Amino acid sequence: MFDYGTIEDLLKSTEHMEILRNNSLQDDGTDTVKGVDWFQYKGKTASTLYVSGNSWIGFGENAEQLKIIRRDTDLMTLRREEGTIWGTYKFLRIRWEGYSVHGNRSEATCMIWDAILFDTGEICVSFDTIPTSSSYLADSSLVTVDGTISFTALTGKIISFKPKDESGNSFEYAEHP
């Protein structure tokens, strides 16, 4: 487990990340990824994460909870990292690398994003590369007990969802982590 000074330092590279899928297509399936016992979402411990080839993550259950440009996409490389920031806050980082259109693997459809869970209950999402053409995009949202929080994925943007309760039932959207 590596200790970072800032979220920006954490996002600068993938050097400390474990590669779970290495340039191997995941289309309509879901990869089961080791989660953490300190993060709650919808009242469930996220000891397992479900990462879909169609650009969504389920926290503790195989359900579409965090959707990033949710459509028929191609996941090619999947990475995972656990660590700390400032020697204090634990995090779990998942990096999704692929294409926003199934079967159309080009620079125009390239999509890379990170979802970071913190032991504070916060979810941070960083958009490294997002297609600019609206024909390659779709809806992005976080599905909570209280409802769906929609957001826009843009290259270079970082957003966060701050929990309103300890069970992860309700979240507040913020433009800056």
In this predicted model, what pLDDT tens digit does every residue of 26-44 receive, in sequence order?
Answer: 988 999 999 999 999 999 9
Q: Which two tokens stand for residue 67?
A: 């959707």
The predicted structure's pLDDT at residue 176: 73
Provide the domain limits for residue 139. Answer: 2-85+103-170
* Contact of 46 with 35, CB cutoff 8 Å: yes
- Whether 91 is covered by a domain: the verdict is no
Residues 50-104: pLDDT tens digits?
999 999 999 999 999 999 999 999 999 999 999 999 999 999 999 999 999 999 9
Report the domain count for the chain: 1
- Whether 147 is covered by a domain: the verdict is yes
Encoded amino acid at 156, one letter: G
Query: Using CA atoms, how far apart are residues 176 and 157, in angstroms rounded to an integer?
Result: 9
- Whether 20 is covered by a domain: the verdict is yes
Query: Using CA atoms, how far apart are residues 34 and 14, in angstroms rounded to an integer?
Result: 18
- Whether 176 is covered by a domain: the verdict is no
- pTM equals 0.96
Instruction: Specify whether the backbone of 55 is left (phi greater than 0), alpha (psi in -120 to 50) or beta.
Output: left
